Structure 1
Amino acid sequence: MFRDREEAGRLLAEHLKSLLAAGKGEAAVLGVPRGGVIVAAAVATALGAPLDVIVPRKLGAPDNPELAVGALALAEDEEIALIDDRTVRALGVSDAYLQEEIERQRREILRREAAYREGRPPEPVEGRVALLVDDGVATGLTARAAARAVLRRSPREVVVAVPVAPPETVREFAAEGVRLEALETPWPFGAVGRFYLDFRQVEDEEVIAVLRAHRQG
């Protein structure tokens, strides 16, 4: 159980220091908005690393946007879309709907990237260890889309780093060749928020303020 996202980030940074000390090289920290940026800021501060965002988005089901039928991330102009084929078939989701939802979420990703970066270009990750940080993962669908998008930018390695994740998700990432570092892997899992005493909602304004404060040191 973590007190809040800041504490989780500090603990995660201690875990990641040994990874980077083992000859992995320079790191760039990419936080997943919104809550993941709070964790990522604590990680970046402890590691003395630059901080940026990666903005994956859930593809919501028709009439139930909280139910994911896939996930989307962008690598510059390239769309990285992962579709949950089993859920799509079970719900009878049409190709036309999926394309419309991908376009909706693409526009939202671009809006958020522009707002969060305030006109700055993305942090370069070429040749670096890209630490993709969130406050936790459950199914890992959006994190997988984000990791694939970051891989297009030629990092030395992509490491998905979270305070908490279910053990089967860690195994699924490993089977795909993606490293997922989690401080805790409890089972049964449930929702990410149950592993925090304080899991308050984070708004865009706080994300922007945290990113700005890190840039200014």
Structure 2
Amino acid sequence: MFDDRTDAGEQLAAELERRGFEADVVLGIPRGALPVARPVADALDADLNVVVARKMGAPGNPELAIGAVASDGSAWYNDDLIDRLGVDDAYLEEIREEEAENAAQKADRYRDTPGLPDLAGERVVIVDDGVATGATAVACLRQVQDSDAESVALTVPVGSPRSIADLESEADEVIALRTPENFQAVGQFYRTFGQVTDADAIEYLDRE
């Protein structure tokens, strides 16, 4: 159990230091990952920035992710779920365009320049506050993998065992402090898991 996101970030940072982990850039997935990513970036003496993706909700059930799309428009689809629900191509393209625009607008709120920073040849660590379905993590990883980074790792305090296992094929390394079998939601492993506002998240980016 983590006290809050900052505590989770400090524990994650300590584990990465123990492993001798090195990174040039840490990318948090806003908004909730920024309090986790700040201690990680500080511990690794790395720049902190963001990578943004939005989940694509199923027709009539926006909380059920049938995929996710990154701020550059690249998308990951849960093909098994899409087939099971019978979602048609027209809906998929409509929701992809809508959420890609939302992701791009969100990224613009956090960055002075459009798009990801130059990651060519860099060792990149993506941080989230936890992984449930892994949809947004996949979309973020794939966007960063296309950036010519030297290496791309995903690090989280807690995640669903199945999702963490699935994500191992998307990154050079995946590190999760806890993968409990009783996982139901990320928030169940935090004593305090309130909403992080845009203003609060941006403060973590601005903090040196």
Matched, 1:56 2:56: no
Report the Cα distance in structure 2 between the residues aligned to 1:118 and 1:190, rounded to whole angstroms: 36
Residue 87 of structure 1 is matched in structure 2 by 81
Identical residues among aligned pairs (%): 42
Mean alpha-carbon deviation: is it higher for 41-50 or for 195-204?
A: 41-50
Alignment of 1:153-192 (within 5 A): 153-176=147-170, 178-192=172-186
Runs of 4+ in 1 over 6 A off after TM superposition: none
Alignment of 1:33-48 (within 5 A): 33-48=30-45
Aligned length: 208
How big is the alpha-carbon RMSD for the aligned residues of Structure 1 and Structure 2?
A: 1.8
Alignment of 1:105-120 (within 5 A): 105-119=99-113
| Structure with the larger helix share | 1
How much does 1:149 deviate? Answer: 0.6
Residue 16 of structure 1 is matched in structure 2 by 16
What is the letter of the counterpart of residue 137 of structure 1? V
- SS of corresponding position for 2:118: coil
How much does 1:178 deviate? Answer: 4.3
How much does 1:80 deviate? Answer: 2.1
Q: Mind listing any 5+ residue stretches in structure 1 that lack a counterpart?
A: none
Matched, 1:141 2:135: yes
Report the Cα distance in structure 2 between the residues aligned to 1:124 and 1:29, rounded to whole angstroms: 13
- SS of corresponding position for 1:35: coil
Alignment of 1:65-104 (within 5 A): 65-74=62-71, 77=72, 79-104=73-98
How much does 1:209 deviate? Answer: 2.0
Q: Is the 8 A contact 1:31 1:53 kept in 2?
A: yes
Distance 1:135 1:175, change over 3 A: same
Task: Give me the TM-score of the superposition, normalised by structure 1.
Answer: 0.89
What is the letter of the counterpart of residue 161 of structure 1? T
Q: Is the 8 A contact 2:142 2:170 kept in 1?
A: no
Q: Mind listing any 5+ residue stretches in structure 2 that lack a counterpart?
A: none
